[in-house]
Amino acid sequence: MPLNPASAPAGPLVSAAGVSVLLGGVPVLRDLSFTIDRGETVALMGGNGSGKTTLVRTLLNLIPHQHGRIELFGTPVGDFREWWRVGYVPQRTAPTLRQATVGEVTATGRLGRRRPLTPASRQDRATVTGALQRVGMADRARSLFAELSGGQQQRVLIARALASEAEFLVLDEPLAGVDLATQQTLADLLRDLRDEGLTSLIVLHELGPLGTAADQGHRVARRAESSPTGPPSTSTATATR
């Protein structure tokens, strides 16, 4: 279940200060600073090639940063080990997932919650079922993941994150390639999760239907600082590409 902000430790859940990233010797992110408080939903916006996905992968310690400091749950990202607390919904899914059923994909969210090579417990199975019910996909548990539409796949990947009982949800372009009705369904779900206390970072081109779900916006711009994104409160991020 999402963490109750009232019972959470003090301090931001994510903190980035003066972060710069080089890829192949080329600056991609430069002197970026922001925080994400517990229970907050933050939108990270920008065009193609602006560095949004690079920033997400840097926050998740998948790409090294050359300057600055990043902390998750108060721990420097290089020392952070409790990755089951973070639910990542990538822009592209791994090919191996496409051969699995919806239930199997969702169940992988429980792997970080139990010892290696141990079978799923009754609690694991109940949590997976509950996560699928939460996103409205319980009736497709036996369907192949590859048979689903793009929006349905996004909902299953969110269910996987919920099954892990993650406290921080990171979504990379969840609205890409889905129709307007599905975008609204996803926006309603993410708004409900925010209201329940889940912290989220959502990567987008523009706010669109998620405008009512975001508490704060960061616009990543090429070679220049961002401009306000309002109505959510804004802060700036600088990318070079």
Q: Quote the pLDDT of residue 16.
A: 93
Pull the structure tokens for residue 49: 């090639």
Q: Give DSSP secondary structure letters for 21-78.
A: EEETTEEEEEEEEEEE-TT-EEEEE--TTSSHHHHHHHHTTSS--SEEEEEETTEETT
What CATH number corresponds to the domain at position 146?
3.40.50.300
Mean pLDDT of 16-32: 89
99, part of any domain:
yes
- Give this prediction's pTM: 0.80
Is 145 part of any domain? yes
The answer to whether residue 199 is domain-embedded is yes
- Tokens representing 81? 């080990």
DSSP string, 82-101: -GGGEEEE-SS--GGGGGSB
- Is the CB of residue 164 less than 8 Å from the CB of residue 82? no
Looking at mean pLDDT, say which of 6-10, 146-150, 204-208 comes out highest: 146-150
Identify whether 231 is preceded by a cis peptide bond (ω within 30 of 0). yes
How is residue 219 annotated by DSSP? E
Q: Is the pLDDT of residue 23 over 60?
A: yes
Taking residues 31-38, report their average pLDDT.
90
Cis peptide bond N-terminal to 12, omega within 30 = no
- pLDDT for 128-167, tens place per residue? 999 999 999 999 999 999 999 888 998 899 999 999 999 9
Cβ proximity of 13 and 201 under 8 Å = no
In-domain check, residue 172: yes
Residue 5 domain-assigned (yes or no): no
* Residue 135 included in any domain: yes
* Residue 7 lies inside a defined structural domain of this protein: no
Q: What angle do CA 168, 33, 52 make, to 5 degrees?
A: 65
Q: Is the pLDDT of residue 172 over 50?
A: yes
Looking at residue 144, what DSSP letter applies?
Answer: B
| Contact predicate 120/107, CB 8 Å | yes
- Supply φ then ψ for residue 55, to 5 degrees: -65, -45
pLDDT confidence of residue 9: 59
Report the chain's terminal Cα–Cα distance, integer Å: 39
* pLDDT at 164 (0 to 100): 92
Does 87 reside within a domain? Answer: yes
Strands 75-76 and 67-72: antiparallel
Split into its structural domains, the chain has a count of 1
| Max Cα-Cα span within the chain | 52
Domain that holds residue 135: 13-239
44-101 pLDDT, tens digit each: 887 777 788 889 999 999 999 999 999 999 999 999 999 989 999 887 777 777 789 9
